[in-house]
Structure 1
Amino acid sequence: MRAFIVVVLAALALATPALARTMDRCSLAKEMAKLGVPRDQLARWTCIAEHESSYRTGVVGPPNSDGSNDYGIFQINDRYWCQPPNGKKSSNGCGLSCKALLSDDITKSVRCAQKVLQQQGWPAWSTWKFCNGHLPSIDPCFK
């Protein structure tokens, strides 16, 4: 009986997808800094990630009013920035699959988010209203 339970548990472990990574303000800021994101932007990026995904890498948002979805820690839209898995039409401005934005390695999410920022500015994120203006310093994360 024990052997059966061990086999069943092992099979379930292999069949169950890994849970997405949940970061926090400082771990995100440090990782983004290592990826070359300017330090003066880190407080804004962490605020956006907090309000968009609660710092979770594996989040796919519910459908938007136009039927699109948002992906990953920065909730990047599949209508414009990534190719959705269901073959929906997309501009795919970042040239990647939306699944790539769900990775625990945030490199592709950061690069795509930077592209969105470059082309549309901070107001591209609906949560920008929470992140516009004075934010707590990110400096304590680097001490």
Structure 2
Amino acid sequence: MRSFIVVLLVALAWAGPALGRTMDRCSLAREMAKLGVPRDQLNKWTCIAEHESSYRTGVVGPSNSDGSNDYGIFQINDRYWCQPPSGKKSSNGCGVSCKALLTDNITRSVRCAQKVLSQQGWKAWSTWKYCSGQLPSIDPCFK
């Protein structure tokens, strides 16, 4: 038990700056709108963020079956879209470090997620199955 606590404390100390912030549906929608994301997409993006990261910006997902990891509020994959801190091979399609996707400023995450969407569509996110049907209106977030 003692060794578990030590490992946990070391992990938290290492991840310190990457803990990020936790947003909610409306705060994410409003920030994305300010960044120019079309309003008719916001309910889909907020649904994806809810299911991928629980609206947390500093999340690094567990290793995928191919050894890759997913980063940030939209869980963007390091094999294809961002350069992992480990230096392992990546296509880095967004031209961004994965650590940049873990910050409180979601601009890079939003831009990269938009690029993923433009190239692969909504189905790029495994959680799309939860977001592809009728979703609650985002309008109350802007009243």
Residue equivalent to 2:99: 99
Note if 1:110 corresponds to 2:106.
Answer: no
Residue equivalent to 1:25: 25
Structure 1 residues 24 and 85, CA, compared in 2 at 3 Å: closer, same or farther? same
Note if 1:131 corresponds to 2:125.
Answer: no
Q: Which runs of 5+ in 2 are unaligned?
A: 1-13
Distance in 1 separating the partners of 2:15 and 2:117: 35
Q: Map Cα deviations across residues 83-105 of structure 1 (whole Å, 9 max, x no partner).
A: 00001100000001000000100
Residue equivalent to 1:54: 54
Give the 3-state SS of the residue equivalent to 1:17 in structure 2. Answer: helix
Distance in 1 separating the partners of 2:41 and 2:27: 15
Residue equivalent to 1:7: none
Distance in 2 separating the partners of 1:48 and 1:21: 17
State percent identity of aligned pairs.
85
Pairs aligned (count): 130
Misfit runs of 4+, over 3 Å: none
Distance in 1 separating the partners of 2:75 and 2:99: 12
Distance in 2 separating the partners of 1:70 and 1:17: 18
Distance in 2 separating the partners of 1:116 and 1:17: 28
Q: Which structure has the larger Rg over C-alpha atoms? A: 1
Distance in 2 separating the partners of 1:105 and 1:38: 19
Task: Give the TM-score taking structure 1 as reference length.
Answer: 0.88
Q: Cα RMSD between the aligned structures?
A: 1.5
What amino acid sits opposite 2:104 in the alignment? D
Q: Which runs of 5+ in 1 are unaligned?
A: 1-14
Distance in 2 separating the partners of 1:69 and 1:54: 17
